[in-house]
Chain A
Amino acid sequence: MQSFDLSKDGLRALNSTLHSLRGETNMTEWEVINPKGSHSIAVGVDALIDVTVRGSTGYYCAGMNKQATIRVKGSAGPGVAENMMSGTVIVDGDASQYAGATGRGGLLVIKGNASSRCGISMKGIEIVVHGNIGHMSAFMAQSGTMIVLGDAGDALGDSLYEARLFVRGSVKSLGADCIEKEMRPEHLELLANLLERGEASHLAKPSEFKRYGSARTLYTFNVDNASAY
């Protein structure tokens, strides 16, 4: 395993080194020590590598990740895995605001709680939160899947498009145009698969979740919906 001391070698050197890894490489295992809440750790990585950050991170850890598996052995600051394209990001602790924002692919697993706006404007990413999520989560979520084993805060899925949301606990309130939808067999199958990949199959069963999605009433402007905008 390659070890990188962030407090000694600096962020620029870390990201530059990780960016230099393209395609096939035998240096597939990396650890980052002394992250001390630094921002932009392991952003823009595009290689089949495994990066373990030993500690908590600041803003945008694993931003725009492609292919890599990035593990945070602590909590993550705002915007973890923002605009992720592919790969996997696993946060052992809690995640701050905007976790997985605008993510276009890949899997984000948060083993603690996620704060507000989790999955905001998500565009294909899969998000599994073992704990609770804060208010305005999945706002304007376009596509992808979010699974929450705990509770959701206010205005879940406000103005969402085609993203699929599954919550096991309570939902404080639904946002504009977000409704509860029928659970069909294909959704149970999807949940089982994603719980397994999200390291949560031992924590919850697919049948315990409710499904939420778009009522699609705001897809075309109608003045009589003005109060919903």
Chain B
Amino acid sequence: MTDFPHTPPKMSWTFSNEVNAEIRRAAATGIYDIRGGGSKRQLPHFDDLLFLGASISRYPLEGYREKCGTDVWLGTRFAKNPIHLEIPITIAGMSFGALSGPAKEALGRGASEAGTSTTTGDGGMTEEERGHSKTLVYQYLPSRYGMNPDDLRRADAIEVVVGQGAKPGGGGMLLGQKISDRVAMMRNLPKGIDQRSACRHPDWTGPDDLEIKIAELREITNWEKPIYVKIGGSRPYYDTALSVKAGADVVVLDGMQGGTAATQNVFIENVGMPILACIPQAVKALQDLGMHRKVQLIVSGGIRTGADVAKAMALGADAVAIGTAALIALGDNDPIHEEEYRKLGTTAGAYDDWHEGKDPAGITTQDPLLSSRFDPIMGGRRLKNYLKVLTLEAQTIARACGKNHLHHLEPEDLCALTVEAAAMAGVPIAGTSWVPGRY
């Protein structure tokens, strides 16, 4: 028998091993995949942009001698008491319920030591975070879990959450494993149920209602607090314009890399836009209305380094927010827990079943034993260190571009490495003056 050459086995690109595994998992369990975190796709991102740095036409600042400011005012439009932060890197909203009490405390400690704010989430305000956060933003969410006028008044700012980047158009989800006695009491729910909170606010619909709602919140808090409106990255031009029209002091814009405590994987990966595509549209809306820098823009979703901070600000943001990166700084997905991640069927860096409440790092859990592993003082110190590094990195870049404040960074400082990034960011491809889509 002659041994003819065989066609080698060919795997399908469409039906890859990963795709097939998900089909088999769905067939076996009858439920969609739920996970935490943001999009894991490879997306056009800040990595696809570069700073040009100084040259003959622009001269740099001395790295260690000349000042580069980092502070930011938020809420200067209408609020009697706008917020002043030492650094433009805030901590994004994450709920008590999704996170343990000690983890919320650590976020407050780290943020306060670094001179920035932290934010509540879909579970009300806890003493841990109010007590340890010098500046605390109180989220006003569709579920209104724990909402009350006393907490509104003891917050430093109010964030009306319309959407988030991981799931624009989606509501909250906290599965039964994490509805402990305390979480159930704060949310007024039966213990142990699968909680799905609403995707729309219960008492307003559309921008005209939002304007009236914001006015009500201002009346209740005597016009003292800055009011933010948080939107997911879906239609950033119009959502930013409508937020301004509705009376927002600050717009918070979250791209699809922004994390969530738990939602369907299909939602995270297929709804919304990357933050790179969102920022220029939001900035354009503010500029068209003559409100850029008057209504501040905070952006989030995949901020990891000081370079990301600087790039977001060069595109026109006033500040950024971090969530996933803050959790990693606290110790989430740390390889020191690798043995336990393996037992959970995953590995450090890939662990995203935060909804199950089995986090070996003790951060995304309500299990008293697991959460007791986490030291909020040490966690806070780590977060402070990380925030300081992000700031130093952003300053390093800004000085190299000749800027004595991070807010002086501008799109003209940037170029893009890919056609996609150039089109989204509205900056030219490196070595050319070509901005795709601009004539």
Contacts and interface: CB of A to CB of B under 8 A. Distances in A.
Contacts of A39: 212, 215-216
A16 B198 contact: no
Given A78-B203, A220-B176, A44 B194 contact: no
A83 B144 contact: yes
A102 B175 CA distance: 21
Contact of A102 (B152, B202, B209, B220): B202
Contacts of A71: none
A121 B220 contact: no
B149 interface: yes
A176 B209 CA distance: 27
Contacts of A147: none
B2 interface: no
B204 interface: yes
Given A66-B149, A102-B144, A40 B212 contact: yes
B353 to A, nearest CB: 15
Interface string B99-127: 00000000000000000000000000000
A98 B205 CA distance: 11
Contact of B188 (A15, A43, A82, A104): A104
Contacts of A161: 189-190, 193
A221 B202 contact: no
B179 to A, nearest CB: 10
A11 B144 contact: no
A83 B204 CA distance: 13
A1 interface: no
Nearest to A58: B212
B18 interface: no
Contacts of A12: 219, 223
B215 to A, nearest CB: 6
Contacts, number: 96
A98 B320 CA distance: 35
A139 B143 CA distance: 12
A84 to B, nearest CB: 10
A101 B216 contact: no
A209 to B, nearest CB: 24
Given A64-B148, A223-B30, A143 B216 contact: no
A46 B143 CA distance: 23
Contacts of B72: none
Contacts of B203: 60, 78-79, 82, 97-98, 101-102, 120
B188 A142 contact: yes
A143 B222 contact: no
B149 A121 contact: no
A40 B190 contact: no
A123 B188 contact: yes
Interface string B295-328: 0000000000000000000000000000000000
B16 to A, nearest CB: 25
A11 B189 CA distance: 36
B77 interface: no
B213 interface: yes
B31 interface: yes
B216 A104 contact: no
B188, B194, B198, B209, most chain A CB atoms within 10 A: B188
B147 interface: yes
Interface string A4-22: 0000000110011001000
B198 A162 contact: no
Contacts of B221: 44
A124 interface: yes
Nearest to A120: B202
B30, B31, B202, most chain A CB atoms within 10 A: B202
Nearest to A65: B149
A154 B115 CA distance: 51
Nearest to A123: B188
Contacts of A59: 209, 212-213, 216
A69 B105 CA distance: 38
Contacts of B204: 78-79
A140 interface: yes
B31 A15 contact: no
A63 interface: yes
Contacts of A98: 202-203
Contacts of A79: 203-204
Interface in A57-88: 58-60, 63-64, 66, 78-79, 82-83, 85
A117 interface: yes
Given A66-B149, A83-B144, A11 B31 contact: no
A83 B147 contact: yes
Interface string A200-223: 000000000000000000011101
A162 B190 contact: yes
A46 B149 contact: yes
Contacts of B198: 121, 140
A82 B217 CA distance: 12
A215 to B, nearest CB: 13
A39 B202 CA distance: 17
Interface in A110-137: 117, 120-121, 123-124
A227 B223 CA distance: 45
B219 A15 contact: yes
Given A12-B223, A44-B149, A98-B203, 5 more contacts: A59-B209, A102-B202, A121-B202, A142-B187, A220-B176
Interface of A: 11-12, 15-16, 19, 39-40, 43-44, 46, 58-60, 63-64, 66, 78-79, 82-83, 85, 97-98, 101-102, 104, 117, 120-121, 123-124, 139-140, 142-143, 161-162, 219-221, 223-224
5 contacts: A59-B209, A64-B149, A79-B203, A83-B148, A120-B202
